[in-house]
Amino acid sequence: MPEVIFNGPSGRLEGRYQPSTEKNAPIAVILHPHPQFKGNMNNKIVYDLFYLFQQRNFTSLRFNFRGIGRSQGEFDYGTGELSDAAAALDWIQGLHPDSKSCWVAGYSFGAWIGMQLLMRRPEIEGFIAVAPQPNLYDFGFLAPCPSSGLIIHGDADKVAPVKDVQALADKLNMQKGITITREVIAGANHFFTGKTAELSAQCSLYLDERLKAKSAADRPLLLR
C-alpha cells in the first residue's frame, strides 16, 4: 500500500493509495472524520472502508485533510476540506484516465464532505455515508441528490441522532431516479464501539449488491 504525497490547494496532501490490477477499474476515495477531533486517514472505520474497496479491485485512496499528519495547511471548516477531496480525486484520475466511474465513502465529517463532492462530480456513481450528522451540518445542497448510496448509522448514536439521520434518508428517497438505502446497526454509537466488524459487513454487502446489479446491467442483451 504505497504512501503518497500529492499537491492540494493549500500544499502537499498525504495519502495511502492502492491501484487496481485492472486498467479501467473504478476509483474509490475515502474521507476521514473531523480533523479537530483526532480524525485522520488511519481511523479504523476509514481503513476498513478503504480495504473493502481494495478487496473488490477498486483503485483506492484515503488521505489526510489539510493540517493532519504530513498534509499541509490548516483546518477550514469544510470549505477547504472539500477542495482537498476534489484535488485528491483529480490526482487519482490523472493516474488512471481510463477509470470512468468513482465511488466516495466518508465517515461522520467525511460523509458530509463526500456528499458535497458527489454533487460536483458527475462521475461519482455511488456513495457510502457512515454516521452523517444532519443535525450539525447542512445537507440542503442535495437538491437533488445525483447518485444512489448507503447511509448507515447506529441506533445508540448520540452525536448523530437516529431521527435526524432517518429524516435525511427519507427526504432523499422522495427523489426520483435514485435509491437511498438506510441501514441501522443495533447498539452502535457514533464510534461503532464493538460494532466495526458489523459495520464493515453491512457496507460490503451493499457494495456487492450494487456491483452485481451494475454488472448485470452492463452485460450485452444476447448474454442475458
Please give the domain boundaries of the chain with CATH numbers for all domains: 3-223 (3.40.50.1820)
pLDDT given for residue 145 in this prediction: 95
Tens place of pLDDT for every residue, the chain, 224 residues? 689 999 999 999 999 999 999 999 999 999 999 999 999 999 999 999 999 999 999 999 999 999 999 999 999 999 999 999 999 999 999 999 999 899 999 999 999 999 999 999 999 999 999 999 999 999 999 989 999 999 999 999 999 999 999 999 999 999 999 999 999 999 999 999 999 999 999 999 999 999 999 888 887 655 54
Q: What number of CA atoms fall less than 13 Å from residue 121's CA on the CB side? A: 27
Amino acid at 25: A
- Residue 216: the pLDDT is 87
Q: What pLDDT is recorded for position 125?
A: 97
| Pairwise CA distance, residues 124 & 140, whole Å | 19
40 vs 125: CA distance, rounded Å: 25
DSSP helix, strand, coil percent of the chain (3-state; round to 5): 35, 20, 40
CB 94 within 8 A of CB 17: no
For 75-84, the CB contacts below 8 A with 24+ separation are 75/35, 75/36, 76/10, 78/109, 78/112, 78/113, 78/116, 78/137, 80/9, 80/10, 81/35, 81/109, 81/113, 82/113, 82/116, 82/117, 83/8, 83/9, 83/10, 84/8, 84/9, 84/10, 84/13
Q: What is the predicted pLDDT for the residue at 113? A: 98
Tell me, rounded to whole angstroms, the distance of Cα 178 from its chain centroid: 17
